[in-house]
């Protein structure tokens, strides 16, 4: 019995002390998000995420969107690129999540092919020119 207790204690200890996400990342629902306040265009943001982490972040639920909104607002920022691109608006990380949170009348730009989440208000998404510069999110976790 003491051994069993010892095993359980060790197991619980391990679960509670081994972080899922790298230092500095935020964890939501077994996924890791990194908010980068450096303002850059969408392609540079994607390149950065792919070199250093995984990819520009997909957003798969209102809960995730709200968590990300909190990070953006805490940093005093307004919005951030997400990993949604007008190739039929697919997630660049390969996620097949159908969650979308477009602002009314968005997406609306024939020259606006990249998605940003505007977290200054309701956290809704808009399509913007990909060359515009703003902070961005990388993420890691389940594809």
Tell the smallest beta-carbon distance from residue 83 to Ca ion (Å).
17
Instruction: Provide φ and ψ at 123, rounded to 5°.
Output: 75, 25
Whether 83 and 46 have beta carbons less than 8 Å apart is answered as yes
Tell the smallest beta-carbon distance from residue 119 to Ca ion (Å).
16
Nearer to Ca ion, 93 or 126 (CB): 126
Question: Would you tell me which residues interact with Ca ion (CB under 5 A)?
Answer: 108-109, 112, 126-127
87/76 Cα distance (integer angstroms): 31
The two three-digit tokens of residue 134, written as one number:
């703003």
Nearer to Ca ion, 127 or 139 (CB): 127
Element (H, E) at 45: helix 42-52
18/36 Cα distance (integer angstroms): 24
Tell the smallest beta-carbon distance from residue 78 to Ca ion (Å).
15
Tell the smallest beta-carbon distance from residue 143 to Ca ion (Å).
28
Nearer to Ca ion, 38 or 108 (CB): 108
Nearer to Ca ion, 114 or 140 (CB): 114
């Amino acid at each position: 019995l003491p051994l069993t207790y010892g095993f359980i204690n060790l197991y619980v200890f391990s679960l509670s002390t081994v972080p899922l996400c790298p230092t500095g990342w935020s964890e939501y629902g077994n996924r890791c998000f990194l908010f980068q306040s450096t303002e850059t265009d969408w392609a540079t943001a994607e390149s950065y995420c792919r070199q250093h982490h995984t990819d520009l972040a997909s957003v798969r639920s209102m809960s995730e969107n709200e968590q990300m909104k909190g990070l953006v607002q805490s940093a005093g920022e307004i919005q951030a690129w997400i990993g949604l691109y007008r190739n039929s608006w697919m997630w660049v990380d390969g996620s097949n999540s159908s969650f979308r949170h477009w602002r009314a009348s968005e997406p609306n730009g024939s020259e606006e092919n990249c998605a940003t989440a505007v977290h200054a208000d309701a956290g809704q998404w808009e399509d913007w020119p990909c060359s515009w510069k703003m902070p961005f999110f990388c993420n890691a976790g389940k594809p």
